[in-house]
Structure 1
Amino acid sequence: MRRDKQTDFAYQAVYRYMINLINEVGTEARVKLPSLRHLAERLNVSISTIQYAYSLLEKEGRVYSVAKSGYYALPIALNTPCCTAGDLLERLYVGARRPGMLVLSADEPAQLLSLDGPLLQLERELVRQYPRQLQPYSQPCGIWELRAALAARYTQSPTRCWQADDVYVGADLRGVLAILIEVLALKGAAVLVESPCDWLILRLLQDAGVRVIEWPCNEQDGLDLAYLEQQLRAENVQLALLSSTPGLPTGKAMSLADQVQVAGLLEQHACWLLENDIQGGLEFEARSCYLRDWVNPDRLMVFSTFEKVMGPEAPYGYLLSRHLSTQLQRQFLLRAFRLSSIRQRAIARLYHNGRLDQHLQALRSLLKGHTAAMQARLVEHLGERVTYRAPQAGATHWLRSTEAVDMRRVFQTMLARQVVIAPGELFSVSGLYQQHFRLSHVVSSHHSLDLVLEELARALKQGQNG
C-alpha cells in the first residue's frame, strides 16, 4: 500500500485489493468481508479510505451492507444464472455486478460529465502547497474551508444564513444520515417521508427502527396537502423528510404555492424539516425558491452529497444544522471520519473559483438533452405501455405500466437479458408502486438503448397479470 500511494490514490489501491479478495472467494454463499477497522490496520490506510472503497464496490453491486453486521460479497460465476430468490434489493445489487450487465437502475448524473479530472488536478496542486506535515491529522466534521464554502452556498439572507460551524462533512451520505438518526433518537418515532423515496434512505430509517409514514403523490402525481395535514395531526410526526428541488426518483419539484402551504403546515404542527438536497443544482430550469426558504429556520436541517454533481472522486455527504451541535460533534468524532484534507480543500476551491457553477450549467444542459432523447425513445418503443411525467431534473425517468403486470417478473426477465431496472416497490416501505419502475437515461455509448427498450416492451407484455 505504501508503494501504491506514491503513484496512485490510496482508495484505488484498496479498491483493487478488495476486487482481488472478492474474486478469490471460492463459494457462491454469502461471505462476510473484513471490517473497516480491520482493513485499515491491515493495509495501513485511514478508515475513511476503506469506507470510500467499500462505497464504490457497493454502488457496483459487488458488496452490500447489513446493519450492525458489516459488508458481504456474493460472488457470481460467469455462467451462473440470475438468482430469483432473496431480498429484491440484494438481487438488484447482485445483478448489477454481473459481467456485461447494462445497469439502468442507477441514478448517476455525473456519469455524463464529472469533475474528477479538475478535482484531482487541484488536489495535486494543493499537495505541493500543503506538505503532509502541515496538513491537520483529523478534523472530524470536515475542514473549515469546505464547511465555510457550503455555508456561503446555502446562505440566502441575513435571517436565513449559515455559518461554517453549522456544517458537518462525513465520509459518505450513508454515514452522515446514520449519525443524524442516532443524534435525533428517532427509534420508534414517526417520520414522514415523501414517496416514492430513495431506497438508501428508507433502509436506513427501517434499520434504525423508525416508524416511516409515507406521503405519496396522488393519481395526478400532485401533492395531497389534505393527507399531509391529516398525518401531521394524527401521528405526532416529529420530522418530515422532503425535497423542494426535484426529488428522487420522480424528478419533479414542488410548486411555489405548494412550498408555502407545506411550510405553513409544518409550522402549525411544530414539525422539523429535514430537506433532501441531493438533486440540488441539477434542475433543468433555475429555481429561485426552495422549501427551506419558507420553513421556520429554527426547525430546519439540510443534507446532500457532492457525488451527484461532481462524480465518484467526491463521495462525501454533508449536513447543515444550527442545532444539536454538541451531540453532532461528538458523534462525528466517535465515527472517526479521517477525510483527506487536501481533497476537501480541492472541493472548496471548486466552489470559490466558480468552476462548479460552470460545470453545473454544462451538466444540466447534457441531462436535459438526454431526457428529451429518452422521451422520444419511450414514445417509439414503449408507446402506450407506460405513462410518466417529464422529469424536471436528474438522470432518471419514473415510469408506470398502463397494464397490470408482475413487475418482479419483468425485473427478472430483464436480468436474464443482461439489463437491470429498478422496480418501484424498492422506493416504498408499504408496498406502493407495484406497477412502477425507474430507468436511467445516462447510458454508455456501446449499448443500444433502442434494442433494450424493445426488449423491455416485450417483457412488460409477457409480465401482464391474468
Structure 2
Amino acid sequence: MHKYAELMNDIEQKLEGGEFRAGQKLPSIREMADRYGCSKSTVIRAYTDLEKRHLIYSIPQSGYYAVVKKSGDAMRPDSSFINFASAAPDPNVFPYLDFQHCINKAIDMYKYELFSYGTPQGLPSLVKVLSKLLANYQVFAQPDSIFVTSGVQQALSILAGMPFPNGKKTVLIEQPGYYLFIKLLEMRDIPVIGIKRTASGIDLDELETLFRTKDIKMFYTTPRFHNPLGTSYQEDDKKAIVRLAERYDVYVAEDDYLADLENDTKSDPLYAYGSSRVIYLKSFSKIIFPGLRVGAAVLPPDLRSTFGWHKRLTDIDSSMLSQAALEIYIQSGMFERRKQRIHDTYHRRLQVLNRSLPSGTTWTAFSTLMSMLVSIHIWNFQMASLLVRCMTV
C-alpha cells in the first residue's frame, strides 16, 4: 500500500476510534512525516484531503484539528457490535463524504448529460474505466463486452429470463446459494436444478452428468468467498468447470462479488480460463455501499445484443448519476484506498470470529457445520449471528 493511502487510512481510523478527539490538535506535518517515513508533501496532501472531507480543519499558524462530531453521528450503528448475519459492508466505514464529493464533481463535469436518458450498456466513459479496472482481477475485457447494471441482481434477472443461443431453459444453481436469486427463479417459474456445494466444493462428476443429461442453459456459481459457506474453489476445479461448460454448451454466470478481498494473487476467476462460455458479474455494493446499485456484467459476444435489448426493456439505463460518480471515485484513486480500508475491516471481523470459535475449530469444520445446517433446512443468514453468540458462551 502507498504511504499516502496508509497515512489516510490510519488517520481516519484514529478519528473514528476516538484516538483523536473532537477539537484535538493533530501531530504536526514534520512529526507525521517522521512517523510514517514519508515526505512532508505527502502529509500535507493527506491533511488537505481530510480537510476537504470535513474530517479535520486547519488554523493558520497553528495546525490541524479534529472536527467536532455532528449530532447525527449518534444515530450511526454501534461500532462495538459486529453483525455476522449480514454480508453488507460495515455502515460505520461507508465513504459518505468521499462519494458526496464525487457526486458534486460528476454534476459539474457532465451537467445535463446525467439527467437525460443514457444507453443500456452504461455511461461510455465509465465502461472504459471498468475495462481497465477489471484487468486487475484478470478479467481482460474490451469495453463493448461490458454492461453496467443496477447491481448484479438486475444482471441475474435479465440472464435468467432471456433466451440463450444454446436453446436451453434450465438454470443450475449451487445449494446453498444466493437466496434472492433462488426466490426470483421460483417467482418467475423458471426451471431450476440444484447441485450440492460443501466446504470441499462440488462434485465435478455430478456436474458433468447434469450438463450432459439436463437442459442446462446457465450454471450460476460463486467461485470465491461463497455465501454462506465462505469457501472458494480450487484452481483445478475452476478449470474443470470451464472445460465442462465448453464441452456441453453451457454458460456459466460467475458472481465475483468479493473479488476485492482476495489475498492470493494467483487466484484467478473462471473468466481467466476461457471467456467464450463465462459471464463475469462484478458488484460494487460490498466494497463501497449497498445503496450504490451499480454492477458490471462482462458478456460473451453471442449474448450481448439480446442482453442489451432486455436491459433496455427493463429500465432503459441504470442511474447515470451513480455511474458518473463511480467513474470519478475510481479515477481519483479513492476506490483503491477504499479497498484497503474495507479489507482491514473484514480482517478485524475475522480476528473476532476466530477468537469466538471454540479452541481447535478450523474454518473447514465451521463451513461443514453450516453445510449441515443447510441440509436440514434450519440455516438462514440470521443463524450466523446466533451461532457466533452461542460459541462465545
SS in 1 for 2:252: strand
Q: What residue number does 2:389 align with? A: 453
**How much does 1:143 deviate?**
0.7
Q: How far does residue 199 in structure 1 lie from its aligned partner after superposition?
A: 0.2
| CA contact 2:106–2:328 (8 Å) conserved in 1 | no
Partner Cα separation in structure 1 for residue 122 and residue 173 of structure 2:
28
Deviation at 1:200, TM superposition (A): 0.9
CA shift in 2, pair 1:267/1:188, >3 Å: closer
- Evaluate the alpha carbon distance shift between residue 115 and residue 134 of structure 1 in structure 2; reply closer, same or farther with a 3 A threshold: closer
When residues 435 and 313 of structure 1 are mapped into structure 2, their CA distance, relative to the original with a 3 A threshold, is: closer
Aligned-pair distance for 1:271? 1.6
Q: Is the 8 A contact 1:187 1:210 kept in 2?
A: no
Would you say the 8 A contact 1:246–1:279 is kept in 2?
yes
Residue in 2 that maps onto 1:299 = 277
Structure 1 vs Structure 2: percent identity of aligned residues? 19
What does residue range 19-418 of structure 1 map to in structure 2 within 5 Å?
104-111=84-91, 113-132=93-112, 136-155=116-135, 161-184=140-163, 189-218=169-198, 221-295=200-274, 297-321=275-299, 322-337=301-316, 339-379=318-358, 388-389=363-364, 400=369
Following superposition, the deviation at residue 102 of structure 1 comes to 9.3
Q: Given that residues 221 and 254 in structure 2 are in contact (C-alpha distance below 8 angstroms), is that contact kept between their aligned partners in structure 1? A: yes
Offset of residue 308 of structure 1: 0.9
Distance 1:156 1:323 in 2: 25
Code of the residue aligned with 1:108 in structure 2: it is A
Moved more, 110-119 or 270-279: 110-119
Residues 218 and 252 in structure 2, CA contact (< 8 A), matched pair in contact too: yes
Note the alpha carbon deviations across 1:248-303, whole angstroms, 9 max, x for none.
Answer: 221211111221222222222222111111122123444442211113x2222122
Following TM superposition, by how much is the alpha carbon of 1:208 offset from its aligned partner in structure 2, in angstroms?
Answer: 2.6
Does the 8 Å CA contact 2:127/2:148 hold for their aligned counterparts? yes
**What are the ranges of 5 or more consecutive residues in structure 1 without an aligned counterpart?**
1-100, 391-396, 405-423, 426-431, 444-448, 459-466
Distance in 2, Cα, partners of 1:355 & 1:368:
20
**2-side partners of 1:339 and 1:190: how far apart?**
27
Answer yes or no: is the 8 Å Cα contact 1:110–1:308 preserved in 2.
Answer: no
1:33-91 deviations in whole A, cap 9, x for unaligned? xxxxxxxxxxxxxxxxxxxxxxxxxxxxxxxxxxxxxxxxxxxxxxxxxxxxxxxxxxx
Inter-partner Cα distance in structure 2 for 1:323 and 1:187: 12
Please say if residues 204 and 241 of structure 2, whose CA atoms lie closer than 8 Å, have aligned partners that are also in contact.
yes
Paired amino acid for 2:171: V
Shift of 1:453: 1.1
1:367 CA displacement: 0.5
Q: Distance between the aligned counterparts of 2:338 and 2:244, measured in 1? A: 36
Q: Partners of 1:194 and 1:287 in 2: how far apart?
A: 24
Residue 242 of structure 2 contacts residue 273 of structure 2 at CA under 8 Å; is this kept in 1? yes
Distance 2:155 2:194 in 1: 22
State the one-letter code of the partner of 2:169.
A
Is the contact made by 1:259 and 1:291 (CA closer than 8 Å) also made in structure 2?
A: yes
- Retained in 2: the 8 A contact 1:241–1:273? yes
Shift of 1:113: 2.9
Structure 1 CA distance for aligned equivalents of residues 137 and 201 of structure 2: 30
1:362-387 CA distance string (max 9 Å, x none):
2112212211211211327xx98xx8
Give the aligned length.
311
Aligned equivalents of 2:277, 2:258: Cα separation in 1: 21
| Rounded Cα–Cα distance in structure 1 between residues aligned with 2:102 and 2:137 | 31
Matched-pair contact (CA < 8 Å) for 1:112–1:363: no
CA distance in 2 between partners of 1:146 and 1:287 (Å): 27
* Closer/same/farther in 2, CA of residues 266 and 401 from structure 1, 3 Å limit: closer
User: Counterpart of 2:369 in structure 1: which amino acid?
Assistant: R
Task: Summarize the Cα distance change of 1:196–1:388 in structure 2 as closer, same or farther, 3 Å threshold.
Answer: farther
Name the TM-score, length of structure 2 as normaliser.
Answer: 0.68
- The alpha carbon displacement at 1:388 in A equals 5.0
Q: Tell me, in whole angstroms, the C-alpha distance in 2 between the residues paired with 1:269 and 1:368.
A: 40
1:192-246 CA distances to partner (integer Å, 9 max, x unpaired)? 222210101111222232332222135x633322221222222242221122322
* Structure-1 separation of matches of 2:169 and 2:216: 8
Greater share of helix: 2
CA distance in 2, matches of 1:401, 1:249: 8
Distance 1:300 1:272 in 2: 6
Q: Secondary structure at the match of 2:290?
A: coil
| Shift in CA distance, 104/254, structure 1 to aligned 2, threshold 3 Å | closer
Contact 1:116-1:313 within 8 A present in 2 as well: no
Question: When the two structures are superposed, what TM-score results if normalisation uses the length of structure 1?
Answer: 0.58
RMSD: 3.6
Give the superposition deviation at 1:188: 8.1
Deviates more, 1:301-310 or 1:103-112: 103-112
Amino acid aligned to 1:316: V
Rate the CA distance shift 1:376–1:156 in 2: closer, same or farther, 3 A. closer
CA contact (8 A) 1:104 1:440 kept: no
CA distance in 1, matches of 2:351, 2:326: 31
